[in-house]
A and B are shown apart, each in its own frame.
Chain A
Amino acid sequence: MSARVDITLTVNGERVTRSVEARRHLIDFLRLDLGLTGSHAGCEHGVCGACTVRVDGEIVRGCLVLAASLDGAEVTTIEGLTDSGEVADLQEAFVLRNAAQCGFCSPGMVMAAADILRHHPQATRAEIREHLSGNYCRCTGYQAIVDAVESTLRARREGAR
C-alpha cells in the first residue's frame, strides 16, 4: 500500500539490509522483519514504553520511529543489550528483587533503566521514579523495579571506589 525504502543499519552489532514499507515503524521492523521479539508493542502511540530501544546511543520509542528513517543508524535491543553483558548486574537485581511479574514491560523497563545507569549514576530514588515514569508496568507497583535500579546504582558506585 505504500512505497518501499531500502535501508542498511546496524542492529545489535550486526549489519542488516532490508527493503521496508515507508510506513513500517521500528518496533514492527524489529519484531516482524528481524524476529527480535524481545521488544514489545504495548500502545503504539508512545505512552507505555514497552517498545523502548536504543538508537545511536539514546533510548527511543520503537513505535514512534519509522524504520525508513534509520539508514546508517545503530540500533540496540534488549537482545543485544543482554548479549553485551552491559546490564547483567541490573538484570540480576531484577531477579533478586522480583522486579518483573508478567514481564511484558521488562525489556523496555531494562532499556530505560540502563539509560539511568549510563547517564545518571547518582540518581536518587525520586529521580529513578521520574526517569522510569515513561514506562508503564501494571503488575509490580514499581517499588521492586525502583529497588533493583537503586541497588545496582549503589553497587556500581561502591565498586568504582
Chain B
Amino acid sequence: MNEIRTPESIGLSREDLPNSYIGRSVPRPNVAKLVQGRATYTDDVVLPRMLHAAFLRSPHAHARIVAVDASAAMQVPGVVRVFTGHDIAKVCDPWVAVLAHLKGMKSAPQHPLPLERATWQGEPVVAVVADSRAAAEDGVAALAVEFEPLPAQVDMETALAPGAVVIHPELGDNLVFQRTAVQGDVEAAFAAAHKVVEATFVTARHTGVTLEPRSIIADYNRAEDTLTVYHSTQAPHMMQGVFARHLRMEEGRVRVICKDVGGSFGIKVHVYPDEVAVAAMSRILGRPVKFVADRFESFCSDIHARDHRIKGRIAVDAEGKILGFDIDDLTGIGPYSVYPRTSAIEGNQVVNLCGGPYDFPNYRCTTTVVLQNKVPTCQYRAVGHPIATAVTEGLVDLAAHAIGMDPIEMRRRNLVRDDAYPFTSPSGMRFEGLSHHASLEKLLRMVPLARIRADQEEQRKRGVHRGLGFAAFIELTNASPFMYGIGGARISAQDGATVRMDPDGSVVVASGVTEQGQGTEAILAQIVAHGVGVPVEKVRVITGDTQVTPYGGGTWACRGAGIGGEAALQSALALKEQILSVAGALLQASPASLDIAMGEVVDKASGTPRISLSEIGRIVYFRGDTLPRDLAREFVQTRHFITKEYPFAFTNGIQACWVEVDTATGMVKLLEHWCVEDCGRVINPLLVEEQVRGGIVQGLGGALYEHCVYDGEGNLLTTTMADYLVPMAAEMPEIHVGHVETPTKETLLGAKGAGEAGTAGAPAALMNAINDALRPLNAVVTEMPFTPARILRALGTI
C-alpha cells in the first residue's frame, strides 16, 4: 500500500485526521462563480482592436475550388480583409497527422484553408475578417466562390473497392492504417468450440456537442514578436508548440491562455484548421482576431467519432468458458487524419481493448481505417472503449443466451480473477491490478436483482417488456509516452506542479493539467492541502497558462488526477519538508519531530501547536536575517511525474441498465442505471460520482439518440440540436454509483482516471438491456443508435 496517510490507513475516521482531504467530498470551489455567471470563457474576453472571423465552408462533400471573388465582400461595411488558402499558406505550413509507431499509417498534408480542393462538407475554405462577427458573416454571404463538384467517397464499406474515388491521389488509395493483433490459434479454437456466436455491430457517428463551442482569440504583437492565444482547449502546451511550429515562430514567443472551458470531452484537444487560420490571420494583420464556432459550424467541423462497423465472433465451451474472440473492425475517418493525435488511435484502441475484462486464450482483431468525404473523426471521450465494450459485452450476452446460461454467471466464469495480477491481455495490454469480481459483487449488492427479475416476469404477462443488461469494462488512463510520444508527436505524458507558500501561510499551486469542469482544480487543491498540511481554503490553483505553469500535457486520457495529482502531491510534500526544516531551526527542534496540521506546525507526537505558517512566512520573507545563514528557505517547490512501470494504468468497472421497451412504438424508456467503477484512490467521491454519471449519460445519448446522419452524396443532415438529439434531464434515469478502490502502486497518490468509465460501459449495458427485454420476442438489435425505427424493424413490425 502506498505510504500516504489517509484516515483509513491509520485507522481514523475522516473527521479525526485534520487536513486529510484525500477521499473527502469537499465542495468544489469553482462552482460558485459558475452558478453566479462570473466565469470567464474565451468568448467573454474582449481585446482592443479585436477583429472577428467568419468562414465560408464548403457546401460540397468534395469539390474543386475554381475561383474566389471577394470584391463584393470587401464592400460590406466593417469587412477588413478576406483570406484564401493561398493567403494563409504564405505564413503557415501544412501538417501531416501520422504516428511512427502505427506501422504503415499514411495521411495527406492539410492546410488551414485548402488550396485546391474541399474534401468535406463544412470544411473552411475562405475566411472573412471584420469589425464584428455579424459583419464578417455578411462578408461571407457576399463572397462569390465557384466550386466544381467532384464525386465523393462517402461509404466506408466501398473506400477500398476498385473504382473508389481516391481522395488524395498521391496516397495511392484510401487506406490510412490497418493492424491485426493475433494470440493463440483462433481458427482451431473456433472449429473445436461447443458454440460459436456471431453478430455485426454498428456504432453511430457521434460528435461531442460541447455546450461552449470551440473558441479562440489569437493576438500577434508585432512589436514584441509574440503570439498570445486565448483558447478553449484541453492542451495549452501542445497548442503552443503547434502554433509556433506551423507559423514558423519560436515556441517561447507563443503563449496559450486557457480561461474557463465550457466542456471538452476530447473535442478540444485537436488541431482545427479554422483555429490555425485565425492564428495565421492575426500574424498577418498584427491585430487580435476572434473566432467562436456557431452550432452549425460545431456540427460540421468539430471532430466526429465512433463511426465503426464491427463483425465479431465469440467461441465458448459447454461450461461457458470463453475460448476466443475474432473481430473485424472497419472505420471511416473523413478525408484527413486529425493532427497531431491522428485518427487511427480509435481503431487501434478497438484492437487493444476488445475482450479486455476477460481471461481467454485465443484472439484475433483487425482494424481497417479508411478515408471518406465526411467530417474528420478523432479522439472523443472514452476513445474506442464504447465500441470495444459494446462488441465484447454484446457477444458475451449472445453467447450466454445461446448456451442457456445466466449472463451474470457467464461473467463470473470468465472475468479475469482479482488475484491474477499482474496480467497481460491477449491483445498485449498489461494490467497492474483490477477488481472485476469485487466490482461485480458490489454491483449485485446495489442492483435489486430479485425484485427486478420478478417485476420483469410480472410485466411480461401484461405485455410490458422490460430488460436488464450488464456490461463489464476496462478503461485506459494515466497514459505514458507509449500513447503518442513514441510515435513522434510532441504531446507530453509528463506533467508538473509548482507549489509555493506566501507570507500569510497561504499556498499556491500551478499545474500543467487543465480544468474543463471535471474538477481538476478542486482535487489539486485537496491534494496540496493534504500534502502541505493546510486547510483547503488556503490553497489557490493556477492552470491553463503556458507562461505560468510547468510544462505538461493538459487533459487527455484521464490523467489529471493520476499524473497531475501525483506531481502536485510530490511538490506539496517537498514544500512541507522545507517548511519543517525552517520550523525546526526556529523552534530548536528536529524537523522529524514536527508536523503541519491545518496551517500550524505542531509537535508530531502530542499535536501541540508550536508556530503558525503565517508566522514562519513573516520571518522568512521579511526577517530572513534572523535565520541561520546557510538555512535553505525554498518555499517554491516543483516536481514532475511520468509513469514508468506500466504504459497505461487501466481501471475497470461494471454497469447495469434497466429499461422498458415499448414494442408498439419502439421507444426505449430508461428506468434505472448502476455503475461500480474502480479508479484507484478516489480523491473526491462527490466529483467522481457526478463525472461518472455525466459519462454514463453521454454514453446513453450516443446509444439511443445521437447520430451524425449523412445522405449518399455526403451532405450532413444533422446540423442543428433539433436534428442531432442529445440527452436531456427528463429522459435520463436515476444513476447509482459505487466504488471499489485498487490504488495504482506506481504513485504515492494511487489515483487512476475516472472521466471516461461511464461512457465506456453505458452503451453496451443499454444494448444488452434492450435485447434482454426483446428476448421473448426473438428480436436483437446491434446497430446504434437504437431508434424506434430500428427496434420496430428488429421486431418485424416495419
Chain A residues near B (Cβ < 8 Å): 1, 21, 23, 31, 36-45, 47-48, 50, 77-79, 82, 91, 94-107, 110, 126, 128-130, 132-146
Chain B residues near A (Cβ < 8 Å): 27-28, 30-41, 43-44, 76-77, 134-135, 138, 208-213, 260-265, 294-295, 516-519, 686-687, 690-698, 720-722, 726, 728-732, 734-735, 758
B279 to chain A, nearest CB (A): 23
11 A–B contacts from the bound complex (CB under 8 Å): A21-B134, A39-B37, A48-B295, A95-B27, A98-B519, A100-B31, A102-B211, A103-B31, A104-B210, A106-B34, A130-B729
Contact B35 A142 (CB under 8 A): no
Q: A101-B690, A135-B729, A144-B690 in contact; A40/B262 too (CB < 8 A)?
A: yes
B675 to chain A, nearest CB (A): 10
B723 to chain A, nearest CB (A): 10
Q: Which residues of A contact B735 (CB under 8 A)?
A: 141, 143
A125 to chain B, nearest CB (A): 8
Q: A43-B720, A139-B263, A143-B690 in contact; A95/B211 too (CB < 8 A)?
A: no
Residue of A nearest to B137 (CB): A1
- Complexed CA–CA distance, A17 and B732 (Å): 43
Partner of B687, one of A1, A44, A98, A136: A98
- Complexed CA–CA distance, A78 and B32 (Å): 12
Contact B262 A141 (CB under 8 A): no
Q: Which residues of A contact B36 (CB under 8 A)?
A: 38, 78-79, 82, 91, 107
Q: A100-B31, A103-B262 in contact; A142/B729 too (CB < 8 A)?
A: yes
Contact A101 B519 (CB under 8 A): yes
Q: A42-B212, A130-B730, A146-B729 in contact; A104/B519 too (CB < 8 A)?
A: no
Partner of B138, one of A1, A91, A103, A129: A1
Closest 5 CB pairs of A and B: A38-B37, A103-B34, A141-B693, A102-B517, A104-B262
Residue of A nearest to B697 (CB): A141
A129 to chain B, nearest CB (A): 4
- Complexed CA–CA distance, A139 and B696 (Å): 10
- Complexed CA–CA distance, A39 and B732 (Å): 25
Residue of B nearest to A101 (CB): B517
Contact B519 A45 (CB under 8 A): no
- Complexed CA–CA distance, A101 and B37 (Å): 13
Contact B690 A98 (CB under 8 A): yes
- Complexed CA–CA distance, A57 and B39 (Å): 25
Q: A39-B37, A50-B211 in contact; A101/B728 too (CB < 8 A)?
A: no
Contact B211 A129 (CB under 8 A): no
- Complexed CA–CA distance, A48 and B720 (Å): 10
Partner of A100, one of B35, B213, B731: B35
Residue of B nearest to A146 (CB): B729
Q: A45-B720, A94-B35, A95-B27 in contact; A102/B728 too (CB < 8 A)?
A: no
Contact A142 B34 (CB under 8 A): no
- Complexed CA–CA distance, A48 and B730 (Å): 14
Q: Which residues of A contact B135 (CB under 8 A)?
A: 1
Q: A95-B27, A100-B31 in contact; A44/B138 too (CB < 8 A)?
A: no
Q: A43-B720, A43-B721 in contact; A91/B32 too (CB < 8 A)?
A: yes
Contact A82 B28 (CB under 8 A): no
Residue of B nearest to A79 (CB): B37
Contact A107 B211 (CB under 8 A): no
Partner of A136, one of B77, B138, B211: B211
- Complexed CA–CA distance, A21 and B211 (Å): 27
Contact B212 A78 (CB under 8 A): no
Q: A42-B211, A102-B212, A143-B690 in contact; A48/B729 too (CB < 8 A)?
A: no
- Complexed CA–CA distance, A24 and B722 (Å): 22
A18 to chain B, nearest CB (A): 15
Q: A45-B720, A99-B31, A141-B697 in contact; A104/B41 too (CB < 8 A)?
A: yes
Q: Which residues of B contact A100 (CB under 8 A)?
A: 31, 34-35, 517
Q: A42-B295, A98-B27, A141-B694 in contact; A133/B211 too (CB < 8 A)?
A: no
Instruction: Please give 6 more A-B residue pairs, beta carbons under 8 A apart, in addition to A82-B37, A105-B211, A141-B696.
Output: A102-B516, A110-B35, A135-B728, A136-B209, A138-B694, A142-B732
- Complexed CA–CA distance, A123 and B697 (Å): 23
Partner of B721, one of A45, A104, A139, A141: A45
Partner of A143, one of B261, B693, B722, B730: B693
Contact A95 B32 (CB under 8 A): yes
Contact A102 B262 (CB under 8 A): yes
Interface centre among B36, B265, B735 (most CB of A within 10 A): B36
Contact A103 B39 (CB under 8 A): yes
Interface centre among A39, A137, A143 (most CB of B within 10 A): A143
A60 to chain B, nearest CB (A): 17
Contact A144 B730 (CB under 8 A): no
Contact B694 A140 (CB under 8 A): yes
Contact A107 B720 (CB under 8 A): no
Q: Which residues of A contact B38 (CB under 8 A)?
A: 38
Contact A140 B728 (CB under 8 A): no
Interface centre among B212, B519, B729, B734 (most CB of A within 10 A): B729
Q: Which residues of A contact B39 (CB under 8 A)?
A: 103
Q: Which residues of B contact A95 (CB under 8 A)?
A: 27-28, 31-32, 35
Residue of A nearest to B29 (CB): A95
- Complexed CA–CA distance, A141 and B721 (Å): 18
Residue of A nearest to B295 (CB): A43
- Complexed CA–CA distance, A145 and B728 (Å): 12
Contact B265 A138 (CB under 8 A): yes
Contact A101 B518 (CB under 8 A): yes
- Complexed CA–CA distance, A142 and B731 (Å): 10
Q: Which residues of B contact A130 (CB under 8 A)?
A: 729-730
Q: Which residues of B contact A91 (CB under 8 A)?
A: 32, 35-36
Q: Which residues of A contact B212 (CB under 8 A)?
A: 40, 42, 102, 104
Residue of A nearest to B36 (CB): A82
Partner of B41, one of A1, A21, A40, A139: A40
Q: Which residues of B contact A43 (CB under 8 A)?
A: 295, 720-721
- Complexed CA–CA distance, A129 and B227 (Å): 45
- Complexed CA–CA distance, A109 and B374 (Å): 34
Contact B28 A98 (CB under 8 A): yes
Contact A107 B730 (CB under 8 A): no
B250 to chain A, nearest CB (A): 33
Q: Which residues of B contact A38 (CB under 8 A)?
A: 36-38
